[in-house]
Amino acid sequence: MGPLEPAERNPAQLRKTGLAITAVMLIGGILVTVAYRMKLSAEERDRRPHVVQRLTEVFFGRDQHNRAFSTDQLKGRVTFFTPLSLKEEERMGEVLSLMVDLSKKYAGNDNLRFVGFTVDGEQDGPGELKALLEKIGVGSDERWLFVQAEEESARGYIRHKVRVEFEETIKTKEGPVKRFRSPLVFIDENLHVLEPSFDLNEALAVQEDARQMLENDPARAEKHNAAAHVDDFKRTRERILEVLDYVLQGDLKEG
């Protein structure tokens, strides 16, 4: 199985993004890189995904067609899950692009589901969710389910049942700033939430931070092994495919 190719990007925009990350995260960028290395090191000891918990509490909402949705619909399916916020379209871009690539790669596999719960249910209704699906080219694919529910209920379910965070705080010169996170989470056919989850925005940030360090401070880059992280974005996409193989084969580890 070959690696998924990332979507075409504007080099100037990437550089702008990388510079912004370096500017606002003078220390945080290094810390993120170190945390990233620790996470990768832990995964190297056993590449199989592991079970976090099972979704025993049923979640209800309305999908993009304004039809009733419940997590029971995901039983017997392998699900790619991500939090949604339509006002954060740029932050969602990488994970949605990946999910679209996967849905095309496995176009004939009806065992897969591509699911998102909006965390802004008061603004993101079924019509808006349907428009987003049409915009990314999957409006007619019934495997995709973008769901609206009562806002606090959706946020609580994502945090406490799916156990993934959709918000993070970064340090800037002006003080702490909160921003949206758009992670990808695997849920297996038995409704087991799996680790690792994946944050493509984080992978891109680490990669750009490493490249900036190599360019601007070679000694510091050597100290922090920045060269090992210049392709983290591509490696993360490839790792997602590897985890999917394990999930499809049912090769998981407990806890």
The pLDDT tens digits for 137-182 are: 999 999 999 999 999 999 999 999 999 999 988 777 778 888 999 9
Digit-coded pLDDT (tens) for 230-247: 898 999 999 999 999 999
Round to whole Å and give the CA distance between 18 and 115.
30
Summarize the confidence of residues 34-55 as an average pLDDT: 77
Asked if residue 20 has pLDDT above 90, the reply is no
Burial of 4 (0-12, 13-18, 19+ CB in 10 A): middle
Residue 5 lies in a domain: no
What pLDDT is stored for residue 221 in this prediction?
84
Q: Which residue has the higher pLDDT, 195 or 220?
A: 195
Q: Name the β-bridge partners of 51.
A: 194, 254
Determine, yes or no, domain membership for 120.
yes
Residue 1 belongs to a domain: no
Closest CA to 179 of 99, 87, 114, 80: 87
The reply to whether 125 falls in a domain is yes
DSSP state of 215: H
Mean pLDDT estimate for the chain: 86
Q: Is 185 inside any structural domain?
A: yes
**95 vs 153: CA distance, rounded Å:** 23
pTM: predicted TM-score of the whole model, two decimal places: 0.85
Q: How far apart (Å, rounded) are the C-alpha atoms in residues 74 and 187? A: 9
Number of compact structural domains in the chain:
1
Highest mean pLDDT, choosing among 47-56, 69-78, 166-175, 225-234 = 69-78
Range of the domain at 89: 11-254
Whether 31 maps to a domain, the answer reads yes
Confidence category of residue 92, pLDDT binned at 50, 70, 90: very high
Q: Residue 13's pLDDT is what?
A: 46
Whether residue 2 is contained in a domain is answered as no
Asked if the structure places residue 4 within a domain, the reply is no
CATH number, domain with residue 111: 3.40.30.10
Phi–psi pair at 82, nearest 5 degrees:
-150, 145
- What are the structure tokens assigned to 153, written together? 């209920």
